[in-house]
């Protein structure tokens, strides 16, 4: 006898809002004249903001036979996911219009991926977590391939899809092994079962496979190799969005699975995660040093940031987990912001992806250059920006947790010194005079040559001039991200509430 | 009042940012006026300062990040007061002095300078370790941009080297701060980064040694103590004149200030244990810096290395750990800021005219620029510590303090005094005297009234401090006594057991 469990739809209100808006966007695209597609973005962003506002007001609850939970972590994770979604939507239209890719599907896919990340935050069951992970991943695969005219975008989509499917299989196998040893997929029951009996080899293997599945999404070393290729091939806004939203989904799930469910067994997993964190920080930062492509540099930078975040999960104290949430918020702002600056530029119909393309930006668009410099400084973790405060929070919690934590903090700070080299190089390029090749003085003073438009999209040549595009929505995204980076840098307490309610769950 | 002083330049920088493009003169004037307003505020701080107290004064506190135990706390004592005064004098001088040499991106330049002033003032006045670290690191960003954007041909390399070198050491200090915080949380029963609360923590010798080592490394790179000085010549050589002036006059003092401020307060036993090592490094730095200066062919590099030598004196005075040594060090920090800042401006005046820094490209300049020659002479003698100038008083006190510890220290230190006279006079002779072999004699026009005006406060201070240093020494005396007092009494006698009223 199976009875249909009650369906508390009220619990799902934010998800339903996002889903509804996604459907509306998809359908409205069929009737809207192309000139008015801007409305789609506005509607999508409004939906994300409304869902976030709605979610923050909903009370705690568990539903759907204990597979879905709404608690502090859900609220924090969903707010982050929706913030990332809103930013990801805002940076897209300018780029899509330029490349002739402006379709409602794009915004639909972004919203659905955001929905996946929201569900990951709310999963209290490994199977729901798997479904949510796929809801997040599949739209991202498609987004990576949205650059229809570009072979590299297609390649990125296929590569991401194949490797991602592989990682999902690992995850599912891990779920199977855990189920085999504990007889359940509900996280609290798994935690209880693990605490009650000695950890068996198959259970440990199962948890290890879960780490691989989530580690792939978060781009932890050694599961990171897809990231630079996919970011490089994917259209700029898609790369911007996936770098942030996948990280939010994966890290919220890691927090849910490790400190919250397996907190009693911290001895078994914190050393493993700590080692992965060290590896990720070191490899990410060292590899980023060598990049000449802005996207690849940001890809390795996002890997490095995954390492800093993982330090917080590995330490696993309430304080550390709260700091992880704050870090994700800051990362969403500065990560998207760094991409957004690049989206405003274009070289001969193609993406301005070489770091050298940003030479002379300060003379042509001073505010954009200031914002770009700010994001670089914040990514490097220098005060007075959010990047510093986020790092301080995570590493302070690590140092409080004893000697292993101190070592993690030490590695984290030393690798951030390395990162200063590649971030500041970009900032200097932005503030240095444009080189004579490529940009003529006329263009530097804002006069755009007509012949630059003659080059077909996707066939940008190295010598072509770098042009500046800015639209109100893109400017808004840069402004919001910059404001968030400054505010979290100067008054970090104003965003501490999100992390605090997650920390409270662990106390 | 201190908060206003710290953030006034930053507010000024924001105002400068609002000035529309293409009005460099408005930007220059506003920048100068803001820095002068900061000087007026600093003068008010000096006026409100009670010289008889060795404690921290004009303290302002506010909650900042309560969740992490981080507070906003600023305060001044005799140690920081002198440096605040130095900052207040040097920034207007540097801004005025760069009116002729910075002609591109004046607005961004002025914003960077004013932002730098806020960061530097914050570093000297912070009483919370995280706040201190925030300002300490924030100094790097505008400075690296000053070097990297307005610097010489090799500026990018120099700026990145400067940044990475100092930051690598600083993050070790940050980790030490976090560890200190964690240990203190156990002993005090509250999370705090407040310097005065952390000073009550009793640390055993091993931990104290490690933590002090991390702090000392960050400070030693900044000073720079030999052999950690290699970033300095590159940074100085490539920086624009005002950048060099600020770097030498103020930024290097952050390192020596760090030793005096945090050593006695947080790590008294470790500081006492490390003093002989610090003295040895200081003496090597004095002699090495002077000898290498002598070998330079680039005028700016010569002065950069002379800073290594002069800062060696400051470190020697600190390592003496007695009143004369500390007092001499504090005074010499101010003196070096004035003299070396002025020396860099001297080079700047020449460079603006001829665009070369090679000593060999000059010769017989005195005949073409007699007023400039007089000015150069005064600055030179101050840097060489001639009696009657400021440098003499400071170096004399330091040597006196060093002599009380070991006659050898003083004897080796005196060697540096002699050498500094040698290389400075040698440089002077190369540039100013001899046949008129200057590469661009036609460009060697006499120093302008505006340039002279920028030098005026520095020259006045050279003689004022040289002839009557009491006002400065009086104000730092009580604070120096209090610091030395902490070194003599072991920490456990100071510990206040429990339950202070929460602030």
Please check whether residue B445 is in contact with residue B52, taking contact to mean a CB–CB distance below 8 angstroms.
no
Q: Which residue of A has its CA nearest to B149?
A: A432
Contacts A493 to B, Cβ<8 Å: 63-67
Element (H, E) at A379: helix A366-379
pLDDT tens column, B240-272: 888 899 998 999 999 999 999 998 888 888 898
A339 membership: H or E segment, kind and range: helix A318-343
Query: Is pLDDT at A338 greater than 50 in this prediction?
Result: yes
Q: What's the 3-state SS for A385-407?
A: CHHHHHHHHHHHHHHHCCHHHHH
Distance CA A258, CA A314 (A): 8
Per-residue pLDDT tens digits for B440-452: 777 788 888 888 8
B159 touches chain A (CB under 8 A): yes
Q: What is the DSSP letter of B433?
A: S
CA distance linking residue A129 with residue A168, whole number of Å: 11
User: Which range has the worst mean pLDDT, A249-253, A360-364, B78-82, B349-353?
Assistant: A360-364
Measured between CB atoms, does B141 come within 8 Å of chain A? yes
Cα(first)–Cα(last) distance of chain A, in Å? 39
| Position A123 pLDDT exceeds 90 | yes
B128 or A453: which leads in pLDDT: B128
Tell me if chain B has a CB within 8 Å of the CB of A435. no
Q: Which of A18-22, B13-17, B463-467 has the highest mean pLDDT?
A: A18-22
Burial of A103 (0-12, 13-18, 19+ CB in 10 A): middle
CA distance A43 to A25: 8
Pick the closest to residue A270 from A126, A122, A408, A416 (CA basis): A408
CB A398 within 8 A of CB A312: yes
Q: What pLDDT is recorded for position B68?
A: 82
Residue A17's pLDDT is what?
94
The tokens for A36 are 């008015």
pLDDT at A133: 94
Express as a percent the part of chain A with pLDDT over 90: 54
Residue B386 has a pLDDT of 83
Q: How close does chain B come to A377, measured CA to CA in Å?
A: 8
Q: Is the peptide bond before A384 cis (omega within 30 degrees of 0)?
A: yes
Q: State residue A125 phi and psi, 5-degree precision.
A: -145, 140
Partners of A123 in the beta sheet?
A68
Number of H helices, E strands in chain B: 21, 2
Q: Is A420 on the interface with B (CB under 8 A)?
A: yes
Report which of residues A51 and B438 the model is more confident about. Answer: A51
Q: Are A346 and A98 in contact (CB under 8 A)?
A: yes
Q: Express each pLDDT in A263-307 by its tens digit.
A: 888 888 889 999 999 999 999 999 999 888 889 999 999 999 999
Q: Dump the DSSP string for A10-23.
A: GGGHHHHHHHHHHH
Q: What is the DSSP string of B450-480?
A: HHHHHHHHHHHHHHHHHH--HHHHHHHHHHH
DSSP3 helix / strand / coil % (chain A, rounded to 5):
75, 5, 20
Identify the pLDDT of residue A461.
44
Nearest to A102 by CA among A24, A36, A27: A36
Dist. CA A249–CA A350, nearest whole Å:
31
Domain boundaries, chain A: 11-438+461-506
- Above 90 in pLDDT, residue A241? yes
φ/ψ of A345, rounded to 5, equals: -110, 155
In this prediction, residue B503 carries a pLDDT of 42
Q: Is the pLDDT of residue A158 over 80?
A: yes
| SS3 label, residue B63 | strand
Q: How many CB atoms lie within 10 A of CB A366?
A: 16
From residue A76, alpha-carbon distances to A20, A52, A396, A491 in Å are: 22, 10, 21, 19
What's the whole-number mean pLDDT along residues A168-194? Answer: 91
- Both tokens assigned to B122: 């914050």
User: What spatial distance separates the first Cα and last Cα of chain B, rounded to whole Å?
Assistant: 20
Q: State how far the Cα of B154 lies from the Cα of B204, in Å rounded to an integer.
A: 46
User: In sequence order, which ranges of A183-317 are alpha helices (DSSP H)?
Assistant: 187-196, 201-218, 226-233, 236-255, 266-289, 294-315
For chain B, say whether A486 makes contact (Cβ under 8 Å).
no
Instruction: Kindly state the tokens that stand for A438.
Output: 């490529």
Give the separation between CA A213 and CA B324, rounded to whole angstroms. 65
Backbone phi, psi, residue B99, to 5°: -60, -35
Q: What does the pLDDT read at residue B438?
A: 67
Quick one: tokens of B226?
């030999």
- DSSP code at position B502: P
Tell me the pTM.
0.90
Cβ-count burial of A110 within 10 angstroms (0-12 exposed, 13-18 middle, 19+ buried)?
buried
Q: Taking residues A54-59, report their average pLDDT.
A: 89
Average pLDDT over residues A405-434: 88
Q: Is the pLDDT of residue B185 over 90?
A: no
- Would you call B371 exposed, middle or buried from its count of C-beta atoms within 10 A (0-12, 13-18, 19+)? exposed
Residue in A18, A255, A264, A21 with CA at minimum distance from that of residue A129: A255
Is residue B177 scored above 60 in pLDDT? yes
Task: State yes or no: pLDDT of A361 exceeds 50.
Answer: yes
Q: What is the ipTM of this complex?
A: 0.86
> Tell me, what's the pLDDT at B499?
42
Question: Residue B125 gets which letter from DSSP?
Answer: H
The reply to whether residue B68 touches residue A383, judged by beta carbons under 8 angstroms, is: no
Say which of B105, B164, B179 has its CB closest to residue A406: B179
Tell me whether the omega of the peptide bond preceding residue A71 falls within 30 degrees of 0, making it cis.
no
Higher model confidence: residue A54 or residue A353? A54
Please state, rounded to an integer, the average pLDDT across all residues of chain A: 87
pLDDT on residue A449: 37
Section A201-223 average pLDDT: 91
How far apart CA A283 and CA B435 sit, in angstroms, is 59
pLDDT at site A2: 63
Q: Rounded to a whole number, what is the distance in Å from the CA of A82 to chain B's nearest CA?
A: 25
Quick one: B86 exposed, middle or buried, by C-beta within 10 A (0-12, 13-18, 19+)?
Answer: buried
Contact B160 A425 (CB under 8 A): yes
Contact call for B178 and A420, based on CB within 8 A: no
Reading the block at residue A366, the tokens are 């001073």
Please tell me the predicted confidence (pLDDT) of residue A434: 67
Residue B134 in contact with partner chain A when CB distance is under 8 A: yes
Q: How far apart are CA A87 and CA A79, in angstroms?
A: 12
For chain B, which residues make up each domain, given as ranges? 274-487
- The pLDDT score that the predictor gives to residue A450 is 36
Contacts of A504 (CB under 8 A, 6+ apart): A72, A318
Q: What is the 3-state secondary structure (H, E, C) of A60-115?
A: CEEECCCCEEECHHHHHHHHHHHHHHHHHHHCHHHHHHHHCCCCHHHHHHHHHHHH
**A381 in reach of chain B (CB within 8 A):** no
Which of the four pLDDT bands, split at 50, 70 and 90, describes residue A464? low
Of A377, A406, A424, nearest to B175 by CB-CB distance is A406
Q: Nearest residue of B to residue A364 by CA position?
A: B21
Q: What is the mean pLDDT of residues A92-109?
A: 87
Tokens 């007699």 belong to B370
Whether the CB-CB separation of B256 and B318 falls below 8 Å is answered with: yes
Residue of B63, B140, B182 lying closest to A400 (CB–CB): B182
Is B174 in Cβ contact with A413 (below 8 Å)? yes
Q: CA distances (Å), A327 to each of A110, A247, A320, A496, B141, in order?
A: 22, 11, 10, 10, 22
For the segment B355-404, what is each residue's pLDDT rounded down to a tens digit? 888 888 888 888 888 888 889 999 998 888 888 888 888 899 999 999 99
- Check whether A190 has a pLDDT greater than 70: yes
Contact B181 A392 (CB under 8 A): no
CA distance A453 to B270: 67
B175–A413 CB contact, under 8 Å: yes
How far is it, in rounded angstroms, from Cα A306 to Cα A293? 20
Query: What was the pLDDT predicted at B494?
Result: 46
Interhelix angle A366-379/A318-343, nearest 10 degrees: 150
Nearest to A393 among B68, B141, B156 (CB): B68
For residue A483, what are its two tokens? 């404001």
- Tell me the average pLDDT across A63-81: 91
For A146, which DSSP code? Answer: -
In chain A, residues with a C-beta closer than 8 Å to the C-beta of B175 are 395, 399, 406, 409-410, 413
Query: SS3 for A353?
Result: coil
Burial B400-412 (b: 16+ CB within 10 A, else e): bbbbbbeeebbeb
Residues of B in contact with A386 (CB under 8 A): none
- Residue A452 has a pLDDT of 37
Task: With CB atoms and an 8 Å threshold, state whether A377 touches B141.
Answer: yes
- pLDDT tens per residue, range B201-246: 888 888 899 999 999 999 999 988 988 888 888 888 888 888 899 9
Q: Does the CB of A289 have a partner CB in chain B at under 8 Å?
A: no
| Residue A443 predicted with pLDDT over 70 | no
Contacts of A384 in chain B (CB under 8 A): 134, 138
Q: For residues A249 and A193, is the Cβ–Cβ distance under 8 A?
A: no
Residue A445 confidence (pLDDT): 38
Distance CA A324, CA B338 (A): 47
């Amino acid at each position: 006898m199976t009875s249909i469990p009650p369906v508390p739809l009220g619990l799902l209100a934010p998800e339903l809002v996002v889903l509804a808006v996604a459907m509306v966007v998809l359908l409205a695209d069929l009737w809207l004249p192309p000139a008015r597609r801007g409305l789609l973005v506005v509607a999508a962003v409004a939906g994300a903001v409304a869902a976030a506002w709605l979610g923050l007001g909903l009370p705690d609850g568990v539903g759907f036979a204990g597979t879905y939970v709404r608690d502090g972590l859900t609220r924090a994770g969903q707010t982050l996911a929706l913030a990332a979604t809103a930013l990801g939507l805002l940076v897209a239209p300018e780029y899509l219009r330029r490349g002739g890719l402006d379709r409602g599907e794009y915004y639909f896919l972004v919203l659905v991926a955001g929905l996946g990340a929201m569900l990951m935050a709310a999963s209290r069951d490994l199977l729901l977590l798997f479904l949510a992970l796929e809801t997040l991943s599949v739209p991202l695969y498609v987004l990576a391939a949205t650059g229809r005219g570009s072979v590299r975008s297609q390649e990125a989509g296929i590569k991401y899809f194949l490797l991602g499917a592989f990682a999902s299989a690992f995850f599912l196998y891990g779920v199977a092994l855990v189920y085999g040893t504990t007889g359940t997929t509900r996280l609290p029951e798994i935690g209880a079962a693990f605490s009650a009996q000695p950890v068996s080899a198959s259970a440990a293997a199962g948890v290890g496979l879960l780490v691989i599945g989530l580690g792939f999404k978060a781009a932890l070393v050694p599961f990171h190799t897809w990231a630079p290729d996919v970011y490089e091939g994917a259209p700029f806004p898609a790369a911007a969005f996936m770098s942030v939203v996948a990280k939010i989904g994966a890290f919220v799930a890691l927090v849910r699975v490790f400190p919250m469910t397996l907190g009693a067994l911290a001895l078994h997993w914190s050393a493993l995660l700590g080692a992965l964190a060290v590896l990720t920080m070191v490899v990410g930062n060292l590899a980023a040093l060598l990049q000449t492509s802005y996207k690849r540099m940001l890809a390795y930078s996002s890997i490095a940031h995954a390492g800093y975040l993982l330090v917080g999960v590995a330490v696993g104290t309430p304080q550390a987990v709260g700091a992880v949430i704050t870090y994700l918020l800051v990362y969403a702002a500065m990560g998207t912001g760094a991409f957004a600056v690049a989206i405003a530029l274009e070289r001969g119909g193609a993406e301005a992806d070489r770091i050298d393309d940003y030479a002379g930006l300060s003379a042509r668009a001073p505010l954009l250059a200031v914002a770009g410099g700010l994001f670089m400084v914040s990514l490097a973790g220098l005060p007075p920006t959010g990047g510093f405060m986020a790092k301080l929070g995570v590493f302070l919690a690590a140092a409080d947790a004893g000697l292993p934590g101190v070592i993690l903090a030490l590695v984290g700070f030393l690798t951030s010194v390395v990162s200063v080299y590649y971030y500041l190089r970009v900032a200097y390029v932005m503030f240095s005079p444009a080189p004579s090749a490529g940009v003529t003085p006329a263009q530097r003073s804002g006069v755009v040559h007509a012949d630059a438009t003659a080059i077909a999209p996707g066939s940008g040549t190295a010598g072509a001039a770098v042009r500046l595009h800015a639209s109100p929505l893109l400017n808004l995204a840069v402004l919001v991200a910059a404001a968030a980076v400054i505010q979290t840098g100067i008054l970090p307490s104003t965003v501490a509430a999100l992390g605090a309610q997650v920390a409270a769950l662990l106390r | 009042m201190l908060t206003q002083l710290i953030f006034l330049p930053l507010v000024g920088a924001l105002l400068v940012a609002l000035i529309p493009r293409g009005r460099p003169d408005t930007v220059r004037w506003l920048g100068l006026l803001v820095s002068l307003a900061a000087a007026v505020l600093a003068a008010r701080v000096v006026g409100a300062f009670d010289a008889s107290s060795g404690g921290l004064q004009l303290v302002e506190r506010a909650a900042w990040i309560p969740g992490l135990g981080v507070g906003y706390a600023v305060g001044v004592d005799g140690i920081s007061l002198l440096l605040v005064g130095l900052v207040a004098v040097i920034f207007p001088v540097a801004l005025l002095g760069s009116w002729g040499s910075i002609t591109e991106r004046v607005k961004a330049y002025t914003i960077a300078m004013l932002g730098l002033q806020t960061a530097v003032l914050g570093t000297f006045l912070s009483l919370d370790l995280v706040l201190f670290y925030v300002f300490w690191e924030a100094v790097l960003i505008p400075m690296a941009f000053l070097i990297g954007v307005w610097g010489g041909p090799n500026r990018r390399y120099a700026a990145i080297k400067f940044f990475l070198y100092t930051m690598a050491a600083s993050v070790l200090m940050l980790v030490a701060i976090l560890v200190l915080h964690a240990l203190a949380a156990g002993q005090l029963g509250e999370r705090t980064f407040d310097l005065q609360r952390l000073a009550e923590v009793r640390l055993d010798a091993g931990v104290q040694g490690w933590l002090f080592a991390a702090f000392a490394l960050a400070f030693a790179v900044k000073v720079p103590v030999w052999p950690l000085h290699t970033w300095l010549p590159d940074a100085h050589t490539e920086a624009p004149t005002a950048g060099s002036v600020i770097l030498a006059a103020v930024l290097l003092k952050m390192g020596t200030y760090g030793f005096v401020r945090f050593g006695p307060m947080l790590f008294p036993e470790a500081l006492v244990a490390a003093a002989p090592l610090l003295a040895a490094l200081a003496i090597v730095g004095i002699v090495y810096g002077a000898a290498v200066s002598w070998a330079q062919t680039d005028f700016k590099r010569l002065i950069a290395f002379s800073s290594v030598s002069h800062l060696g004196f400051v470190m020697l005075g600190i390592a003496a750990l007695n009143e004369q040594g500390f007092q001499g060090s504090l005074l010499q920090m101010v003196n070096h800021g004035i003299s070396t800042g002025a020396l860099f401006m001297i080079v700047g005046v020449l460079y603006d005219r001829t665009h070369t820094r090679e000593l060999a490209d000059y010769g017989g300049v005195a005949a073409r620029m007699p007023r400039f020659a007089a000015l150069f002479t005064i600055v030179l003698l101050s840097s060489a510590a001639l009696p009657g100038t400021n440098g003499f008083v400071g170096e004399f006190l330091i040597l006196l303090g060093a002599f009380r510890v070991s006659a050898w220290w003083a004897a080796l230190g005196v060697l540096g005094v002699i050498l500094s006279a040698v290389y400075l006079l040698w440089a002077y002779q190369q540039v100013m005297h001899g046949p008129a072999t200057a590469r661009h004699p036609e460009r060697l026009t006499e120093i302008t009234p505006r340039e002279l005006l920028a030098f005026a406060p520095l020259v006045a201070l050279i003689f004022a401090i040289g002839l009557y240093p009491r006002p400065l020494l009086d104000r730092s005396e009580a604070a120096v006594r209090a610091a030395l007092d902490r070194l003599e009494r072991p920490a456990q006698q100071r510990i206040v057991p429990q339950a202070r009223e929460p602030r």
